[in-house]
Amino acid sequence: MNTARDKGAHYLDRIVRDRQICGGQPVFRGTRVTLRTVLASLAEGDSIEEILAEFPTLKREDVRAAIAFAAASAEEDLPVPATPQIR
């Protein structure tokens, strides 16, 4: 299975944490736009174009990095359900 990094979405190059910026929340490099804000916009159904219009400091690659980050996080963090026992 191809991972987000395999497809060229190097989100770690675009998403950074710095205690001096937004209290250390993950932001997109060179901006004060938080990862949480972009993910919330995507969850509400905003298109990439709508997000870019609302946050002109972002690039399309930033939004794609947010999606790649969420995909990688889901892959790592979701628990595997217990296998039901057959009786």
Cα 19 to Cα 52: distance, rounded to the nearest angstrom: 25
Cα 11 to Cα 65: distance, rounded to the nearest angstrom: 4
Structural domains in the chain plus CATH codes: 11-75 (1.10.10.10)
pLDDT of residue 12: 83
pLDDT of residue 8: 42
Q: Of 20-34, 40-54, 65-79, which gets the smallest average pLDDT?
A: 65-79
Cα 14 to Cα 59: distance, rounded to the nearest angstrom: 10
Q: Using one digit for the tens of pLDDT, what is the confidence trace for 30-55?
A: 999 999 999 999 999 999 999 999 99
pLDDT of residue 77: 62
pLDDT of residue 10: 76
